[in-house]
A and B are shown apart, each in its own frame.
Chain A
C-alpha cells in the first residue's frame, strides 16, 4: 500500500456492544490501516458526515442489536445522496444469512459473523482495494 487506506469503524444506533468494533479497529490498525473509530450511538447522518470529512476509503459498521435491516440501508442511502458511493460499506455482527442476501443485493460489501478471525477482515480489505 502506497497511501495508507483509511477505514471508519462505526457503531450506529443505540447498541452498546463495542468489544467487537474495538478489537477489529485495533487489528486493522496493527495491519497497517489508518483507523478512525466513531464511538457509540451514531446516527447514519453522523457516520456519513464523518466518513466524508475524514476522506475514508471504507466504512465498517458493527451492529449486534438486530437493527441491521434499518441501519445498513440508511447509511447506504445517505452515501448515495452525497454521491460518495466510492466509499465501501461493509460490516459485522449478528446478521442472519437471509438478511445478508438482501443486504448484499443492495450493494453492501462483506458482512462478517461471530467467530471470524480478524485476519479474514484484513485480507478482504486488502484484496478489495487492490483489485478495484
Chain B
C-alpha cells in the first residue's frame, strides 16, 4: 500500500516537473494516439489482471502472449518485402534479388491501374502504368512476374482488393500452367474491401456485391487452395490514412467480424474459413503502444471467435498477422534517419509477436526503393533476428506494469468503438455513414496540428532541421518506356489468343454475377483463356455497378 501511494506521488511530481522540461508544449502525458500515460506504473495498475484468464501461455487461449507455443524459437517470422515496379520483367528481377539475399516470402505491389481492375492500355491509366507498383493486366504478365520462382515452395502475398478474385485467378493459373497444383500454393490475397472504403480507396464494386465475391473466394479457397489466406484484414492503410492505434485496431477487428458474419450468413461453417483469415497491422512510432496493440488484438479476436461466433477449432481463434512499418512516419528530410525509425518499428512488431514483417526503405517518401535501400531494410530485420537476442524469449514484455496496463486500456477503448459501430447498424452501415472515414480524418488533422504547433517533434522536419539540406541518397527512376511496352504486350496478346474462347468466358463470368453460382470458377476459366483484368472486371461491372464515394473532408 505504501509503495502504491509512492507511485502516485511519483506520477504527480514527475508530471509537474516534466511539463516544464524541454519544450514546454511537448506532449508527454499521452501516447501518440492520445491514450493518457503516467510517469511510472506500479502493481495496482494491473491489479485486476488474472494470468490464466487474461494472458495464458503462448499458444494457449486467449493467446495474448503469442499464437504459437514456441514462437520464434520454432520458426522465425517471414521476412517479406512489399515490392513491385515497372513491368513484370523488372519486378521479377527484383524478386530474385531479394530471395538471393535471404528474403523468405514474396509480396506483390501492383500499380494503380491494376489495383482498380484497369488494363495498362485503358485511357485512365495514362501516366500511372508501373509507377506505384508492377503492371499486371493478364495471365501472361503474371507468368512473367513469377518466371523461374518456385511457386511450390515460396509463399506470396498480394496486395489486391477490388479485383482480388481475378488477380488470384491469374496466380493460380500461372502455377497450374507450370504443373503446380493449387492445393499446395501458399500465400495471401488482401481481399479486404471494407478497409478500401474506409482508407485505401482502391474499390471497384459497391459493398454488397463485393461482400458476395469475398464469400465466393472464401468458399473456393477452402475447397481448392486450402493453404491460402483468403483475406488479410488490414489495419495498415487505416493507420496510414491518419487513424490512432485504437482506431486501427477497432476498425480492423470490426471488419474482421463482418467477414465472419458474412461467411456464416452464406452458409459456411465458421471453422472452415476462419483459420484462413489473417491480419495486417501497422507498426508506428510509439513503441510500447504498438506492442500493446498487437497483444490486445490477439486477445479480443480469440475471445470473440470463441464466445460470439462459436468457433471450435483452435486455428479459428488465432490472430495471425503481418506487419509493415509505418510509411507515413518516414520523412523526406534527412532520409537516412528513416533507417533508424524503421528499425525501432520493426523491433516493436517482433516484440508484439508478428508472423511476418516488411521493413520500409529509407527512400520511400521519394520513390519506390532502390536495391541498396531495400537491402538495408531487409538487413534491419536480419539484425533484429540474429543479433539483438529479442527473439529468443517469447513475449518478453509480459508482466510489465506498463505494457499490461496499456494492453488493457487499448482493449477497453476498442470495445467502445465496437459499441458505436453496433449502434450504427454494423460496419457496412457505419462505412456508408462515413463514420470511420470521419474519425480517421479528424485524427489525421489533430496529428498534423500537433506537429505544426511543435507539440509533437518530428526529427528533421520541425526540429533538428538542417539548413540547406541536400538529399544525397540515390532515387529509383521508373523506365519511361514501361507504358508503351505494356501497350504492345497487350495488343499482341489480344491478337494471338483465342478471342472466341475469351468472349465465351466473359459471358460465363457475367452469368455467374447474375446468379448465385460461385464466381471464382468462371473467373479462373477466363484467366486461363487470357482474358485481361479489365475485360473480366468490366463484365462484372455490367452486373454489379461501381462504387462512388461521397467526397468529404
What is A's interface to B at a CB cutoff of 8 Å?
A: 9, 13-19, 21-23, 25-27, 29, 35, 37-40, 43, 65-67, 69-71, 94, 96, 113-115, 117-119
| Residue positions of B touching A, CB distance < 8 A | 112-113, 115-116, 118, 124-128, 131-132, 200-202, 240-242, 328, 331-333, 365-367, 441, 444-445, 448, 451-452, 458, 461-462, 475, 478, 549-553
* Minimum distance in angstroms from A32 CB to a CB of chain B: 16
Chain A residue with minimal CB distance to B132? Answer: A65
A-B contact pairs, 14 of them (CB 8 A): A16-B115, A16-B200, A19-B240, A19-B242, A19-B328, A38-B551, A65-B131, A66-B127, A67-B128, A70-B126, A70-B128, A96-B366, A118-B448, A118-B452
Contact B551 A19 (CB under 8 A): no
Whether A114 lies near B331 (C-beta < 8 A) is yes
B242 pairs with A113, CB closer than 8 A:
no
User: Whole-angstrom distance between the alpha carbons of A114 and B367 in the complex?
Assistant: 12
Q: What chain A residues lie within 8 Å of B200 (beta carbons)?
A: 16
Chain B residues with CB under 8 A of A117: 451-452, 462
**Chain A residues, CB < 8 A from B552:** 37
Chain A hits for B202, CB < 8 A: 14, 16
Complex contact A23–B124 (CB within 8 A): no
Q: Which of A9, A37, A67, A96 contacts B127, CB < 8 Å?
A: A67
Q: Which residues of A contact B478 (CB under 8 A)?
A: 66
B550/A39 in contact, CB under 8 A: yes
Q: Which residues of B contact A65 (CB under 8 A)?
A: 112, 128, 131-132
- Complex contacts, A9 vs chain B, CB 8 Å: 553
User: Would you call A26 and B131 a contact (CB within 8 A)?
Assistant: no
Of all chain B residues, the one with the shortest Cβ separation from A26 is B445
Asked if A25 contacts B128 (CB within 8 A), the reply is no
With a 10 A CB-CB cut-off, give which of A13, A16, A69, A114 has the most chain B CB atoms.
Answer: A16
Chain A nearest CB, measured from B473 CB (Å): 12
A14–B332 touching, CB < 8 Å: no
CB distance from B456 to the nearest CB of A (A): 12
Counting chain B CB atoms within 10 Å of each CB, which of A21, A40, A66 scores highest?
A66
CB of A115 within 8 A of CB of B458, answer yes
Supplied contacts A23-B441, A65-B132, 13 more A-B pairs, CB within 8 Å: A13-B124, A14-B125, A14-B128, A16-B202, A17-B201, A18-B201, A22-B553, A27-B445, A39-B550, A43-B124, A65-B131, A70-B128, A117-B452
A66: B residues at CB distance < 8 A: 127-128, 131-132, 367, 478
Bound Cα distance from A69 to B127, whole angstroms:
8
Interchain CB contact under 8 A, A25 and B553: yes
Instruction: Select from chain A the residue with minimum beta-carbon distance to B475.
Output: A96
Complex-state Cα separation, A9 to B551, whole angstroms:
11
Q: Which of A15, A16, A39 contacts B551 (CB 8 A)?
A: A39
Across the interface, do A14 and B115 meet the contact criterion of CB distance under 8 Å? yes
Interchain residue pairs A-B with the least CB separation, the first 4: A70-B127, A39-B551, A16-B201, A67-B127
Please state if B112 and A13 are interface contacts (CB–CB under 8 Å).
yes
Return chain B residues, CB-CB under 8 Å to A118: 448, 452
Decide yes or no: A14 and B365 within 8 Å by CB, A19-B242, A114-B332 being known contacts: no
A51 to chain B, nearest CB (A): 15
Question: Which of A14, A67, A96, A114 gathers the greatest number of chain B CB atoms within 10 Å?
Answer: A14
Q: Who on chain A is nearest to B440 by CB?
A: A19
Let me know if B112 and A19 touch, CB within 8 A: no
Name the CB-closest residue of B to A39: B551
Q: Please judge, given known A-B contacts A38-B551, A71-B127, whether A14 and B118 are in contact too, CB under 8 Å.
A: yes
Q: How far is the CB of A95 from chain B (nearest CB, A)?
A: 10
Check A14–B445 contact: CB distance below 8 A: no
Q: Which of B201, B328, B551 contacts A37 (CB 8 A)?
A: B551
Contacts of A19 in B (CB 8 A): 240-242, 328, 444
Q: Which residue from chain A places its CB closest to the CB of B129 in the assembled complex? A: A67
Residues of A within 8 A of B124 (CB): 13-14, 43
Nearest B residue to A114, CB-CB: B332
Chain A residues with CB under 8 A of B550: 39
Contacts of B128 in A (CB 8 A): 13-15, 65-67, 70
CB contact under 8 A between A14 and B112, given known A22-B441, A117-B452: yes
Among B112, B333, B367, B461, residue most surrounded by chain A Cβ atoms (within 10 Å): B112
